[in-house]
A and B are shown apart, each in its own frame.
Chain A
Amino acid sequence: MQIVQVLAYGILLGGIYALLASGVTLIFGVLDVVNVAQGAFLVFSALFTWQIWDMFGMEPLLLIPVMGAMMGIIGWAIYRGMLIRVAPQGPGMTVLLMFGVALTMEGILNLAFGNKFKSVTPAYFTESLKLGEIVLPYPQLISGVLAIVVLGAIYAYLRFSWAGRALRASSQNRDGAALVGISHKKAAGFAFAIGAATAGVGGVLLAIMYPIFPATHYEWIARLLGVVVLGGFGSIPGAIIAALLLGTMESFASTFVPQWAPLFFYGTILLILVFRPQGIMGSKTREDVA
């Protein structure tokens, strides 16, 4: 029974990793930008959630659409204001820019919230769902399920809407997309907005699960990049598979060998990449097959 419990917990954790990493991989797929500020976006949203919850005592989950929209707009503004100018300089410069954005956000958060852990603790914070012998804490259960639902909604939107088709087309073949009249700038701005919005949603979910302080964004971006690299940069299905795999690994490790949990997380990535350097769903680059 413990195995089922650990597995369920791993899938919930994986669902959250999947939502957050899909934002990073979506942005990379369309823009060729490694958004190292995604962790900072996440913590930004989480601390704002804490602030609003602390002031008004409202149900934090109601903030999901608000924080999603807010981070989406901030993301779009960062793209139109800064990234669009730096993008032609290549991936090295955009990583530096986004690292700068992350540090700036961390600084702002430090000033606004101080360098202390904050926790959002709604009434169900300490309660659990009991199904026979399986015990699932509500914060984890709710966050995991909502992450999977939001991710499913984003996936369906990208799959079936014209905006989503344009975005995927631009990510698969920029010149080909231009030929059918798709503006890469619009697709890229939209991709960055959606990517940042996943961090906005994720921040709320994170806030009810873990204590947060500004510098935790380093830890998160390390994990997210790990998930994205393992899944294959630019592949959303890859990120989902990798996230579920790593979530489950981490859940097992922290139950049975807690002191080794981080080693299991990063060790899995290392091991798989030795045999599959392009990641689980990553395709080889055009240069390889030409």
Chain B
Amino acid sequence: MSESTVLTMDKVEAGYGGGLVLQGLSLELAKGTITCIVGPNGAGKSTVLRVISGLLKPSSGTVTLGSEAIGGKAPADILRLGIAQVPQSGALFPDMSVHENVMLGGYPIRRERALLKSRIAMVEEMMPIVKERAHDKAGNLSGGQRRMVEISRALILDPSLVLMDEPSLGLDPKSVAKVAAVIRNMASEGRTVLLVEQNVRLGMNLATHGVVMEQGTVRLTGDAAGIADNPEVASMYLGKAIEK
């Protein structure tokens, strides 16, 4: 484990009752990097995120944040430690306003009013939509706008690690570009980003590091460009080499 390692997963096994989805997965994330997990459907990509965020308890192995073991902790505790998750879709509260949705991101710090207020102001500055559409119901936003609000909500706790499940899913190219810019911006602020992408081309262009998963384990890791160029990856998951 190097100095800048933020999160380590060591030989993690986890599943949903019907069998193990993660079968001894090991992974390291360095501070300020964007790591993208790719792999075929059913490889366990989203399950990695669920284990880190505490939505799924690992049956064995360790998950360590800094020097603290977090495997099996409750989602609320993991949030407080600075790991926020932006899930695949539909994470918002559709009948609540954008402002309320973002505010609820601060649920764990609700008693520290001044802090919450300053965080909301910080997010409003980073993500203009939060202020522009403050009083609109989240359910009335477009897919791209919802994704922005979901990211805003995750940022309220000023997380050191942000988990994102398919941030480009269902978005038009313009929105995808906006989301990508926000992700790069987060990394440049020193946050670590772990994302899962079906869109390998987009994911590897965005990421600094790539992880290829297969059947619940890590098949390959490396810098994103290397993964994108790897002929084995290309033929395994894409049928052809990745265009750059």
Contact = CB atoms under 8 A, between A and B. Distances in A.
B93 A179 contact: no
A172 interface: yes
A176 B91 contact: yes
B79 interface: yes
A178 to B, nearest CB: 5
A116 to B, nearest CB: 46
Contacts of B53: 179
Given A168-B96, A169-B93, A178 B104 contact: no
For chain B, what secondary structure do more than half of its interface residues adopt (helix, strand, loop), or is it mixed? mixed
Contacts of B153: 180
A29 to B, nearest CB: 10
A182 interface: yes
B93 A176 contact: yes
B10 interface: no
Contacts, number: 60
B79 A168 contact: no
Nearest to B153: A180
A173 B101 CA distance: 11
A165 B93 CA distance: 10
Contacts of B95: 168, 172
Nearest to A159: B100
Interface string B64-87: 000000000001100110001101
Nearest to B154: A179
B90 interface: yes
A180 B104 contact: yes
B149 to A, nearest CB: 11
Interface in A34-66: none
A50 B225 CA distance: 78
B79 A181 contact: yes
A223 to B, nearest CB: 26
Contact of A183 (B76, B87, B105): B76
Interface string B112-139: 0000000000000000000000000000
B110 A169 contact: no
Interface residues of A, number: 16
A127 interface: no
Contacts of A175: 55, 87, 91
Contact of B91 (A165, A173, A182, A183): A173
Given A178-B75, A180-B79, A165 B104 contact: yes
Contacts of B237: none
B92 interface: yes
A179 B96 contact: no
A169 B110 CA distance: 15
A169 B104 contact: yes
B96 A182 contact: no
Contacts of A178: 55, 75
B110 A162 contact: yes
A19 interface: no
A151 interface: no
A181 B96 contact: no
A6 B93 CA distance: 40
A179 B91 contact: yes
B75 A179 contact: yes
B231 interface: no
A166 B105 CA distance: 11
22 contacts: A162-B107, A162-B110, A165-B100, A165-B103, A166-B104, A166-B107, A172-B93, A172-B95, A172-B96, A173-B92, A175-B87, A175-B91, A176-B87, A176-B91, A179-B84, A179-B91, A180-B105, A180-B108, A181-B79, A182-B76, A182-B107, A183-B76
Interface of A: 162, 165-166, 168-169, 172-173, 175-183
Given A168-B95, A173-B93, 5 more contacts: A169-B96, A172-B93, A173-B92, A176-B87, A179-B84
